[in-house]
């Protein structure tokens, strides 16, 4: 036994030298393994702890690095090298007082040549460390990541910063926003509560908390939080837009309430924009445009969008945007996204100009559009965070449109909507484009399970009491059926239970299953391998998800809600009007008919992908012509108004 220990101890110096070589070569995993082997040979090997601390720091785990270095120093307090390393690490992460303490201590201690060989020079030069000190290095990284939409990476950077500076309120604010965007809503609310308690007079903290409450489906609480900000700090158009977004997300909001809120917001935003313009304009001057009023010339069409990150929303609008130039028109993109992804690059290659509007205020943004002599501006931002409706109130172009998600007019900001709310006008809302990566259609699940499974893949917060009552009616109409709900945003357990409880009122709670999408599938299309019939969102259709279900061979039932019947019109274009309902009873009856013949349902599943490809839904050029026709009609009307 003694011989074995002696052999192990004799290998320790060799292992430490190997660990140092791995550290120099940035082979961190190998360096850690060598140190652990050295500690097995000599559990009291402080040099191994020293190297583990240096490796941890190189791997951007400063708190762990200090733990190892403190342990090494505590076991060998007279070793100069350990004090030098502590001075360097503390200084590099901004702990200047601690760094100076250990630097002074190191000058009183004797060096150990054997240990000195193990420390890279960058960890033993205090003065060089002072020059490279970064007290908030991880917060700076988090700010960059947050600005570019990387929520998970932002959370990681914030957590590393908070290990070093646990009371840093700016990092907590970044973390609150990132956790909300990542679906960790309960955590975002908890951080928001702590920030509000610490700084009651911070307006932005209260707004972020209101956003988190809305994201967790606590719409009434969010409304009260937004109103509190208005009462205390005064109203502004952008805050009013977020309040309106909260109302739009609430499933029980009535159409009349939305119309009134839109009108009130438009009047407020237009008034504020007009007042600002008047203050900066000479007396008696009216806003004019440099655009040539030629009704038939090629148009300059601008799209305002938050981001073109690869999401179902961006993929829905991209085909139409890319199709304009083939018709001879110029397309301008104004977004807060640099477009450094495959979808963004594809769009950039098909448009005339791409402008990053991140941080640009509404008035300046409107001036930029006027400077580009935009003829038709189309808003894709809607309401909420990043809304550009206030920019539209500053009259950036002669003609303004809203296209998706809820294309409602706002006099003074948005003059036209696509599609028109006119009942005689029933064009498509958006075309279907085959997804790039998608699994094959599988066999009908009911053929294997013996029962029909209805499915809905969506944000749980879009399910309200009226949604649950309609879907419960379907379950009670179709015996032995089940409902599978895909939780698209991975919300917390309380939100899931609140949604599930809605179905208990109708005696079908035990027939409803809710699963987190990202925990069970590689992509959202795989969800439909377990669904026989899909249920469109209600009272708002989810057009992108409806397209996904159809492409996976799953027929979709749709009930007209407050969104001009997006789902119903889409299914009519597929010549599947029998899958729609004007009332809940018609909707449930359509479900009964569709599920009553499993042989026919299996045949529909096998044929639906080809049927979708051959339908008007997939005719992108025709859709673009229809969209441009609406723009042209509005443009001609403006030209006539100028001529008169």
Residue 423 confidence (pLDDT) above 60: no
Residue 425 confidence (pLDDT) above 60: no
- Between strands 556-559 and 512-516, the pairing is unpaired
3-class DSSP string for 584-623? HHHHHHHHHHHHCCHHHHHHHHHHHHHHHHCCHHHCHHHH
In this prediction, residue 419 carries a pLDDT of 78
In this prediction, residue 389 carries a pLDDT of 83
Strand, coil or helix: 546: helix
CA distance 220 to 231: 16
CATH code for residues 450-613: 3.40.50.2000
Give the model's confidence band at 399: pLDDT under 50 very low, under 70 low, under 90 confident, else very high: very high
Residue 374 confidence (pLDDT) above 50: yes
The closest alpha carbon to 516, from 464, 460, 463, 472, belongs to 460
Q: Are 378 and 410 in contact (CB under 8 A)?
A: no
Which burial class, exposed, middle or buried, applies to 509 when counting CB atoms under 10 A from its CB (0-12, 13-18, 19+)? middle
The closest alpha carbon to 608, from 540, 497, 532, belongs to 532
Strand, coil or helix: 196: helix
Q: H or E element: which one contains 103?
A: helix 96-107
In this prediction, residue 344 carries a pLDDT of 82
Q: Are 452 and 446 in contact (CB under 8 A)?
A: yes
CA distance 508 to 494: 19
Is this structure's pTM higher than 0.85? no
pLDDT tens string 297-330: 999 999 998 888 766 677 888 888 888 876 678 9
CATH code for residues 148-274: 1.25.40.10
The closest alpha carbon to 379, from 339, 418, 429, belongs to 418
In this prediction, residue 513 carries a pLDDT of 93
CA distance 281 to 110: 74
Cβ-based neighbours of 521, under 8 Å, separated by 6 or more:
527
The closest alpha carbon to 172, from 154, 158, 153, 157, belongs to 158
In this prediction, residue 341 carries a pLDDT of 76
Q: Are 234 and 219 in contact (CB under 8 A)?
A: no
CA distance 438 to 521: 12
CATH 1.25.40.10 assigned to 2-131: yes
CA distance 197 to 191: 10
Higher pLDDT, 447 or 121: 447
Residue 280 confidence (pLDDT) above 60: no
pLDDT tens string 453-506: 999 998 888 888 889 999 999 999 999 999 999 987 756 677 788 888 999 999
Q: How far apart are the first and last CA of the chain?
A: 105
CA distance 379 to 42: 67
In this prediction, residue 259 carries a pLDDT of 73
Q: How far is CA 124 from CA 15, 31, 53, 110, 329, in A?
A: 21, 19, 13, 14, 63
**Which of 351-355, 365-369, 527-531, 565-569 shows the lowest per-residue confidence on average (mean pLDDT)?**
565-569
Give the model's confidence band at 242: pLDDT under 50 very low, under 70 low, under 90 confident, else very high: confident
The DSSP bridge partners found for residue 303 are 333, 378
Average pLDDT over residues 356-378: 92
Matching CATH topology for 300-418 and 450-613? yes
CATH code for residues 300-418: 3.40.50.11380
The closest alpha carbon to 608, from 572, 576, 580, belongs to 576
**Which of 57-61, 221-225, 247-251, 396-400 shows the lowest per-residue confidence on average (mean pLDDT)?**
247-251
In this prediction, residue 163 carries a pLDDT of 85
Average pLDDT over residues 211-227: 89
Cβ-based neighbours of 623, under 8 Å, separated by 6 or more:
319, 320, 323, 427, 428, 430, 431
CA distance 334 to 302: 7
In this prediction, residue 177 carries a pLDDT of 93
CA distance 119 to 69: 12
CA distance 131 to 7: 44
Give the model's confidence band at 283: pLDDT under 50 very low, under 70 low, under 90 confident, else very high: very low
Residue 337 confidence (pLDDT) above 60: yes
Higher pLDDT, 563 or 270: 563
Q: Report domain extents, the chain.
A: 2-131, 148-274, 300-418, 450-613
3-class DSSP string for 350-395? CCCEEEECCCCCHHHHHHHHHHCCCCEEEECCCCCCCCCHHHHHCC
CA distance 579 to 561: 15
Q: How far is CA 164 from CA 94, 123, 129, 214, 502, in A?
A: 9, 19, 17, 31, 44
In this prediction, residue 244 carries a pLDDT of 81
pLDDT tens string 143-163: 888 877 788 899 998 998 898
Which burial class, exposed, middle or buried, applies to 175 when counting CB atoms under 10 A from its CB (0-12, 13-18, 19+)? buried
In this prediction, residue 2 carries a pLDDT of 40
In this prediction, residue 135 carries a pLDDT of 66
Mean pLDDT (the chain) is: 85
Cβ-based neighbours of 222, under 8 Å, separated by 6 or more:
210, 211, 213, 214, 246
Average pLDDT over residues 421-445: 79
Strand, coil or helix: 399: strand
């Amino acid at each position: 036994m003694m011989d074995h220990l002696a052999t192990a101890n004799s290998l320790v110096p060799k292992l430490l030298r190997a660990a140092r070589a791995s550290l120099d070569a940035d082979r961190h995993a190998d360096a850690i393994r060598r140190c652990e082997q050295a500690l097995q040979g000599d559990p009291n090997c402080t040099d191994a702890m020293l190297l583990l601390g240096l490796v941890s720091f190189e791997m951007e785990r400063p708190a762990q690095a200090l733990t190892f270095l403190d342990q090494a120093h505590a076991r060998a307090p007279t070793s100069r090298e350990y004090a030098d390393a502590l001075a360097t690490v503390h200084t590099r992460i901004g702990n200047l007082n601690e760094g100076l303490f250990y630097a002074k201590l190191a000058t009183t201690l004797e060096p150990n040549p054997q240990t000195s060989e193990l420390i890279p020079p960058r960890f033993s030069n205090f003065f060089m460390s002072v020059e490279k000190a970064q007290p908030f290095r991880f917060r700076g990284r988090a700010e960059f990541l947050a600005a570019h939409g990387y929520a998970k990476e932002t959370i990681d950077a914030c957590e590393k910063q908070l290990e070093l500076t646990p009371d840093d309120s700016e990092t907590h604010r970044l973390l609150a926003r990132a956790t909300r965007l990542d679906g960790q809503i309960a955590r975002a609310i908890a951080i928001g509560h702590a920030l509000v308690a610490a700084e009651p007079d911070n307006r932005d903290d209260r707004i972020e908390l209101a956003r988190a409450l809305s994201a967790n489906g606590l719409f009434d609480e969010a409304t009260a939080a937004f109103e509190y900000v208005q009462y205390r700090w005064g109203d502004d158009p952008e805050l009013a837009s977020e309040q309106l977004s909260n109302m739009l997300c609430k499933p029980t909001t009535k159409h009349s309430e939305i119309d009134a809120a839109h009108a009130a917001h438009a009047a407020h935003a237009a008034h504020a924009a007009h007042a600002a313009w008047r203050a900066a304009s000479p007396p008696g001057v009216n806003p004019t445009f440099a655009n040539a009023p030629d009704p038939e010339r090629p148009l300059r069409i601008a799209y305002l969008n938050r981001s073109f990150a690869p999401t179902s929303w961006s993929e829905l609008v991209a085909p139409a945007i890319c199709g304009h130039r083939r018709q001879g028109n110029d397309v301008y993109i104004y977004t807060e996204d640099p477009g450094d992804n495959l979808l963004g690059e594809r769009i950039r290659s098909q448009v005339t100009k791409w402008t990053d509007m991140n941080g640009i205020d509404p008035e300046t943004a409107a001036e930029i559009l006027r400077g580009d002599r935009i003829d038709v501006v189309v808003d894709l931002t809607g309401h909420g965070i990043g809304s550009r409706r206030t920019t539209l109130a500053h009259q950036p172009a002669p003609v303004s449109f809203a296209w998706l998600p809820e294309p409602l007019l706002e006099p003074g900001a948005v003059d036209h909507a696509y599609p028109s709310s006119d009942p005689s006008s029933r064009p498509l809302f958006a075309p279907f484009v085959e997804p790039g990566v998608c699994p094959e259609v599988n066999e009908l699940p009911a053929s294997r399970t013996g029962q029909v499974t209805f499915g809905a893949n969506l944000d749980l917060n879009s399910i309200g009491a009226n949604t649950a009552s309609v879907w419960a009616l379907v379950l009670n109409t179709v015996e032995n059926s089940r409902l599978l709900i895909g939780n698209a945003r991975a919300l917390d357990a309380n939100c899931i239970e609140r949604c599930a409880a809605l179905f208990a009122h109708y005696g079908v709670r035990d027939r409803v299953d809710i699963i987190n999408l990202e925990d069970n599938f590689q992509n959202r299309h795989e969800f439909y391998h377990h669904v026989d019939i899909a249920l469109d969102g209600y009272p708002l259709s989810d057009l992108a998800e409806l397209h996904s279900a159809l492409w996976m061979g799953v027929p979709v039932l749709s009930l007209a809600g407050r969104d001009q019947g997006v789902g119903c019109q889409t299914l009519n274009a597929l010549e599947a009007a029998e899958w729609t309902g004007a009332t809940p009873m018609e909707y449930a009856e359509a479900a009964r008919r569709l599920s009553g013949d499993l042989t026919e349902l299996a045949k529909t599943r096998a044929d639906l992908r080809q049927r979708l490809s051959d339908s008007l839904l997939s005719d992108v050029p025709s859709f673009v012509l229809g969209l441009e026709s609406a723009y042209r009609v509005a443009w001609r009307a403006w030209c006539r108004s100028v001529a008169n």
